[in-house]
């Protein structure tokens, strides 16, 4: 059958799977004629294999309205396949400068019959879908107004997320964020004031627990203040510019207690206290003299080198050690003095000891005793027998004296004699010598409000 196509080509078609191009009459525009030969397969569009020969092209039509490129498979109106890993499936390019365009009023792109992911276009935007339970589900959608949704097909803001957001960093102050009750900050700001969100909150520094402490600020470690510090109703302030902070109560009268048992009251709105503030401290008088029967150990390799060796049988008059201490100007003479004496046993000893402490004070130009023992302000430090006392055991005896505090005079030199009553057979039953170690006095001093 011969047919003239719009005055340009004539085709003769044969039935069957093979298309025979038996004869094509070519009518060029300038006149004349020619014959084209060739053969091809059913469904393939022909292309010129030579100047006058046609063959199969890469375009395949499996049915009316569908076209495939580089494949006989077809899953849509246009199915494009690539035969090499590096080849591009579809390229759009304009012959002049500028962008090309491809309009899809309502089209979905995806891979093969069992899609894993795809691109789709519809009215209002463009999106990405991934497979879920065998079907494509919209995951990312960019609308025509510039909003982007993740898990949301109709985003109402520039970033609209249905689900949890994870990021390594965020920019901005976050002041416009809403619905954050689940991650509410424990802090809030009012001008230059930063404070805890709730007045019931406590702040711990250097620890992750308050350890039962009820304080609003709990610090484990050192704290340094270069300005005024406020705490529990009182302030610290450098009132005289010497770099030393003093404590006082601004505006309200309050109490303070440091290292004692009595609370003292400060005057409101003043750094001058109504009553002094006190602190108790341990002091260590210095050994300055030994008596006849309480001689120092002079063997330098002995662990008792320099210690007095008290006789276990001698009388107190010649069995004492003298200590010296300068009484501070700010001593509180209205409270008790606590004496603690530490000694070691020279041999196994399970019997009692009796020690006697005396003292006297000396102002400037006063004469001090040189050889005789002091007898004033006498107190007895009685050591009860140690049933397990072994050689070199460390023992101690303690005594609290109200009389010693009232007998002290601030700013004077204090001489203390600590004697052992080795001949007191009823109270100092032991006859074993002892080595005197340390004498410790616990006194109370006033804290000055300024220097």
pLDDT digits (tens, 9 = 90+) for 291-350: 999 999 999 999 899 999 999 999 999 999 999 999 999 899 989 999 999 999 999 999
Query: Residue 369 and residue 359: Cα distance in Å, rounded?
Result: 11
Q: How many CA atoms lie within 13 A of 216 on its CB side?
A: 10
Query: Residue 140 and residue 134: Cα distance in Å, rounded?
Result: 18
pTM listed for this prediction: 0.44
Nearest in space to 377 (alpha carbons), one of 354, 360, 400, 398? 360
Q: Is 244's pLDDT higher than 70?
A: no
Confirm if 344 and 305 have CB atoms less than 8 A apart.
no
Query: Residue 278 and residue 281: Cα distance in Å, rounded?
Result: 10
DSSP letter for each residue of 129-186: EEEETTEEEEEEEEETTS-EEES-SS--SSEEESS----S---S--TT----GGG--S
Average confidence score pLDDT of the chain: 78
- Work out the burial of residue 43: count CB atoms within 10 Å of its CB; fewer than 13 is exposed, 13-18 middle, 19 or more buried: middle
Domain 282-446 adopts which CATH fold? Jelly Rolls (2.60.120)
Lowest-confidence segment of 189-193, 245-249, 431-435 by average pLDDT: 245-249
pLDDT at 245: 53
Lowest-confidence segment of 30-34, 110-114, 412-416 by average pLDDT: 110-114
- Work out the burial of residue 225: count CB atoms within 10 Å of its CB; fewer than 13 is exposed, 13-18 middle, 19 or more buried: exposed
pLDDT at 123: 76
| Continuous segment of H or E residues that includes residue 47 | strand 44-50
Query: Residue 189 and residue 12: Cα distance in Å, rounded?
Result: 89
Q: Mean pLDDT throughout 274-290?
A: 83
**Strands across the sheet containing 107-110:** 107-110, 117-122, 125-132, 135-143, 148-150, 159-161
Question: Could you tell me how many helices (H) and strands (E) the chain has, helices first?
Answer: 1, 35
Q: Where are the domains of the chain?
A: 3-60, 107-161, 282-446
Q: How many residues in the chain?
A: 451
Nearest in space to 260 (alpha carbons), one of 322, 332, 178, 156? 332
CA-only gyration radius of the chain, Å: 53
Q: Which residue has the tokens 């700010």?
A: 330
Please state the separation of Cα 370 from the chain's center in Å: 63
Q: Which residue would you say has higher pLDDT here, 450 or 175?
A: 175
* Tens digits of residue pLDDT in 57-107: 889 998 888 998 888 888 778 888 876 766 666 666 666 665 556 555 555
**C-alpha pair distances (Å), 358 with each of 20, 152, 320, 388, 401:** 139, 92, 10, 30, 11
Q: What sign does the CA torsion over 407, 411, 412, 413 have?
A: positive
Please state the separation of Cα 329 from the chain's center in Å: 46
For the chain, the distance separating the N- and C-terminal CA atoms, rounded to the nearest angstrom, is: 127
pLDDT at 104: 55
Q: Mean pLDDT throughout 102-126?
A: 63
Confirm if 328 and 337 have CB atoms less than 8 A apart.
no
SS3 at position 82: coil
Q: Is 239's pLDDT higher than 60?
A: no
Query: Residue 358 and residue 439: Cα distance in Å, rounded?
Result: 13
Helix H segments across 197-274? none
């Amino acid at each position: 059958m011969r047919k003239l196509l719009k005055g340009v080509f004539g085709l003769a078609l044969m039935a069957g799977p093979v298309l025979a191009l038996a004869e094509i009459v070519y009518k060029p525009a300038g006149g004349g004629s020619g014959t084209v030969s060739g053969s091809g397969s059913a469904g393939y569009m022909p292309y010129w294999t030579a100047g006058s020969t046609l063959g199969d092209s890469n375009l395949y039509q499996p049915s009316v309205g569908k076209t495939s490129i580089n494949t006989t498979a077809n899953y849509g109106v246009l199915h494009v396949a690539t035969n090499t890993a590096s080849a591009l499936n579809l390229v759009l390019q304009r012959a002049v400068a500028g962008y090309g365009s491809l309009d899809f009023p309502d089209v979905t792109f995806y891979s093969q019959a069992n899609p894993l992911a795809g691109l789709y276009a519809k009215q209002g935007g463009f999106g990405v879908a991934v497979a879920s339970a065998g079907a494509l589900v919209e995951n990312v959608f960019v609308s025509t107004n510039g909003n982007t949704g993740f898990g949301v097909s109709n985003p109402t803001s520039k970033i609209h997320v249905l689900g949890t957001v994870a990021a390594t960093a965020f920019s901005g102050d976050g002041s416009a964020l809403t619905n954050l009750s689940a991650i509410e900050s424990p802090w809030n700001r009012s001008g230059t004031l930063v404070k805890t969100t709730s007045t019931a909150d406590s702040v711990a520094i250097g620890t992750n627990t308050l350890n039962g402490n009820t304080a609003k600020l709990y610090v484990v470690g050192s704290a340094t203040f270069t300005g005024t510090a406020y705490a529990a109703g009182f302030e610290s302030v450098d009132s005289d510019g010497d770099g030393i902070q003093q404590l006082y109560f601004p505006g309200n009268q309050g109490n303070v207690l440091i290292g004692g048992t009595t609370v003292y009251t400060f005057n409101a709105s003043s750094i001058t206290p109504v009553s002094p503030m006190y602190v108790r401290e341990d002091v260590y008088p210095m050994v300055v003299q030994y008596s006849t029967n309480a001689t120092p150990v002079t063997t330098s390799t002995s662990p008792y080198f320099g210690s007095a060796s008290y006789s276990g049988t001698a009388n107190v008059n010649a069995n004492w050690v003298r200590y010296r201490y300068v009484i501070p100007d700010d001593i509180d003479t209205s409270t008790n003095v606590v004496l603690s004496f530490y000694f070691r046993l020279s041999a196994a000893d399970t019997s009692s000891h009796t020690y006697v402490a005396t003292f006297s004070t000396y102002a400037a130009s006063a004469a001090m005793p040189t050889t005789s023992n002091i007898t004033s302000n006498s107190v007895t430090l009685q050591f009860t027998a140690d049933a397990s006392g072994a050689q070199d055991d460390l023992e101690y005896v303690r005594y609290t004296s109200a009389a010693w505090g009232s007998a002290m005079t601030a700013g004077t030199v204090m001489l203390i004699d600590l004697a052992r009553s080795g001949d007191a057979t009823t109270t100092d039953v032991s006859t074993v010598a002892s080595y005197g170690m340390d004498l410790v006095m616990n006194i109370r001093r006033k804290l000055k409000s300024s220097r």
